[in-house]
C-alpha cells in the first residue's frame, strides 16, 4: 500500500471510527448463538449470527416461544447478556426457568409505542451493552402515528401496515451499523397473516425492509399429528399410545449465513 493511500485510510478511520475501512483479511468469521437444540443448530449452521438480524416467523402455537427460551438459556450459558422485548406480554417466568433461563440475568423491556422499543435497541447497540436482543413480536409494534392523530386522539384511520413498514425501514437503516459494530445477535419474532377472506396468505408482516436486512429468515409451523411425539402406555391390560407433544417444521426462506443447509428444504423437530 502506498503512503498516500495509507494516510487516506488512516484519516477516514480517525474521523469515522476504527476499522471503518480495512482489508478483507481482517474480516472475522461470523459468530453464532446456538438454540441448544442440535437438529436446529445443525440446520442453521450453529444458530443465529452475531452482528446481524435474523427472523423467526410462524403461526400461533408453532414453537416460537420454545425456541426463544432455549436461545436465551444457551446465550446465558455462554455468559452473554440477553435483552428480551416482550411486546405481547406473554413472557412466562416459570416456564422460562424450566428451559434453564436465569431470570436475574435477563433484561425484559415492554413499551407501548414502537419507536420506544426500537430506540432501546439502538441505545444498547451504540453503547455495546448487550449480546443478544429478541423482539417479540414485530406484529405487536404499534407506531406512534397509529395511536395518536393530529388532535392527540387515538385514531384507527391510518394505514397501519404501511406505517409500520416505513418505521421499520427507517430503523434498519439506522441500526445496521451499530448492531454490526456491537456484534449483537438480533432475533425478530414474526407472526403470520393467516387469512384474508377466503385467501390464505401465510405471509410475514413488516414490509420489504425486514426481509432485506435479515441475513436469515426461518418459517416455523406446526406439523401433522401423525408426526408428533408419542408415548406408549398400558391401560386395562391393553397397550395404548398418546401424543405427548407436537411436531414443528422449520423451513429456511432466506439465508446469507455460512453453514446453513437450505437444500434440506425443511426439518421436523418433534
Counting the structural domains of the chain, the total is: 1
Is residue 138 a part of any domain in this protein? yes
Strand residues in 82-169 grouped as ranges (E): 82-86, 106-109, 132-136
Is residue 67 a part of any domain in this protein? yes
Is residue 21 a part of any domain in this protein? no
Angle 142-146-148 from CA coordinates, rounded to 5°: 115
Q: Which residues contact 174 (CB under 8 A, 6 or more apart)?
A: 122
Contact 82, 106 (CB under 8 A): yes
pLDDT tens-digit profile, the chain (270 residues): 799 999 999 999 999 988 899 989 888 889 999 999 999 999 999 999 999 999 999 988 889 999 999 999 999 999 999 999 999 999 999 999 999 999 999 999 999 999 999 999 999 999 999 999 999 999 899 988 777 655 555 554 446 678 888 999 999 999 999 999 999 999 999 987 655 554 445 577 778 899 899 999 999 988 765 565 556 767 777 776 665 566 789 999 888 887 776 655 677 776
CATH number, domain of 129, equals 3.40.50.300
Q: Whole-angstrom distance between the N-terminal and C-terminal Cα of the chain?
A: 55
C-alpha to C-alpha distance for 120 and 208, rounded to whole angstroms: 22
Is residue 14 a part of any domain in this protein? no
Is residue 251 a part of any domain in this protein? yes
C-beta neighbour count of 154 within 10 angstroms: 8
Pick from 144, 120, 150: nearest CA to 134: 120
Is residue 16 a part of any domain in this protein? no
Pick from 251, 135, 165, 262: nearest CA to 202: 251
Is residue 98 a part of any domain in this protein? yes
Is residue 23 a part of any domain in this protein? no
Q: Which domain holds residue 45?
A: 29-269
Amino acid at each position: 500500500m502506498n503512503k498516500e493511500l495509507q494516510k487516506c485510510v488512516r484519516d477516514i478511520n480517525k474521523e469515522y471510527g476504527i476499522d471503518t475501512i480495512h482489508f478483507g483479511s481482517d474480516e472475522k468469521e461470523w459468530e453464532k448463538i446456538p438454540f441448544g437444540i442440535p437438529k436446529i443448530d445443525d440446520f442453521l449452521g450453529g444458530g443465529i449470527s452475531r452482528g446481524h438480524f435474523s427472523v423467526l416467523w410462524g403461526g400461533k402455537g408453532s414453537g416460537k416461544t420454545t425456541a426463544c427460551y432455549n436461545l436465551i438459556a444457551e446465550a446465558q450459558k455462554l455468559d452473554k447478556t440477553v435483552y428480551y422485548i416482550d411486546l405481547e406480554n406473554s413472557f412466562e417466568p416459570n416456564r422460562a426457568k424450566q428451559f434453564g433461563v436465569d431470570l436475574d440475568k435477563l433484561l425484559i423491556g415492554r413499551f407501548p409505542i414502537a419507536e420506544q422499543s426500537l430506540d432501546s435497541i439502538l441505545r444498547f447497540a451504540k453503547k455495546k451493552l448487550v449480546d443478544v436482543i429478541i423482539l417479540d413480536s414485530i406484529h405487536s409494534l404499534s407506531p406512534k402515528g397509529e395511536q395518536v392523530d393530529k388532535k392527540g386522539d387515538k385514531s384507527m384511520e391510518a394505514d397501519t401496515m404501511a406505517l409500520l413498514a416505513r418505521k421499520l425501514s427507517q430503523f434498519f437503516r439506522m441500526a445496521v451499523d451499530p448492531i454490526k459494530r456491537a456484534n449483537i445477535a438480533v432475533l425478530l419474532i414474526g407472526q403470520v397473516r393467516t387469512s384474508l377472506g377466503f385467501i390464505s396468505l401465510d405471509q410475514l408482516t413488516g414490509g420489504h425492509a425486514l426481509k432485506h436486512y435479515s441475513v436469515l429468515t426461518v418459517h416455523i409451523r406446526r406439523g401433522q399429528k401423525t408426526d408428533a411425539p408419542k408415548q406408549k402406555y398400558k391401560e386395562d391390560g391393553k397397550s395404548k399410545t398418546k401424543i405427548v407433544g407436537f411436531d414443528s417444521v422449520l423451513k429456511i426462506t432466506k439465508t446469507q449465513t455460512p453453514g446453513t443447509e437450505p437444500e434440506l428444504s425443511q426439518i421436523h423437530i418433534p
